[in-house]
A = this chain, B = another copy of it.
Amino acid sequence: MEYNFLNIIDILGTIAFAASGAFSAMERKLDPFGVVILSFVTAIGGGTLRDMLIGNTPVAWLRNEVTALVILATAFITLFFGQYVKQFHKTLFLFDAMGLGVFTLIGVEKGLQMHLSPGICIALGTITACFGGVIRDVLLNNVPLIFQREIYASACIIGGSLYLLLQQTPLNDDINAILAIIMIVVIRIVAIRYKLMLPRVYENRM
């Protein structure tokens, strides 16, 4: 993976995830400490769970102060300038989609490094990208959003699978990563634009 380019997307994704956590906390009228914690768990929860599952400890954010500072700054900016930040919801959505993409690939890569099987690598990618939001929702006492018909985790599964497929081609890894991230971003944009959802296949069967 090309680290300079992907690192920037990583940080943009972290900002978007942290802002999403902060907004959720503010909607529930949590105190400033709660807002900071929700920013943190949303931004680093998925990667933390992944690192604990594979035994990659101390988990990533403990060794990377930049991530912690970015999240802290995002939390406080959202806290004090919430109205203003909200105007950028389209930008935040785009960052979020890019974050989703890059977090998925980071998770898949970690699985590959540990020689885990392809399906498990995709699962690790999806966990990395999606479980921060799951923990955020659990802490706020909501049933996790991503279990409720939105195309979110599905985008990660498709993007992760594409990345593994592309690795069978002679294309170089940088290009594979970028193509997979673009795929995830496009799926997210299309899903939101056309309000696509997963079907409830069992509707009439229960």
> A interface vs B, CB < 8 Å?
25-34, 37-38, 48, 52-55, 57-59, 62-63, 65, 68, 79-83, 111, 114, 116-117, 119-120, 123-124, 134, 138-144, 146-150, 153-154, 197-202, 205-206
Chain B residues lying within 8 Å of A59, measured Cβ to Cβ, are 53-54
Question: Is the Cβ of B116 less than 8 Å from the Cβ of A63?
Answer: yes
Chain B residues lying within 8 Å of A58, measured Cβ to Cβ, are 53-55, 114, 116
- Closest CB-CB distance, A145 to chain B, in whole Å? 10
Question: Which residue of the partner chain, among B32, B68, B139, B149, contacts A144 with CB atoms under 8 Å?
Answer: B139
- Closest CB-CB distance, A14 to chain B, in whole Å? 16
Specify the chain B residue showing the minimal Cβ separation from A120: B62
Chain B residues lying within 8 Å of A82, measured Cβ to Cβ, are 202, 205-206
- Closest CB-CB distance, A176 to chain B, in whole Å? 23
> Knowing A54-B57, A58-B116, A116-B58 touch, does A38 contact B147 (C-beta < 8 A)?
yes
Centre residue among A62, A81, A141, A147 by max chain B CB count within 10 A: A147
> Knowing A63-B116, A120-B62 touch, does A146 contact B205 (C-beta < 8 A)?
no
- Closest CB-CB distance, A174 to chain B, in whole Å? 27
Question: Is the Cβ of B200 less than 8 Å from the Cβ of A153?
Answer: no
Question: Is the Cβ of A147 less than 8 Å from the Cβ of B55?
Answer: no
- Closest CB-CB distance, A70 to chain B, in whole Å? 13
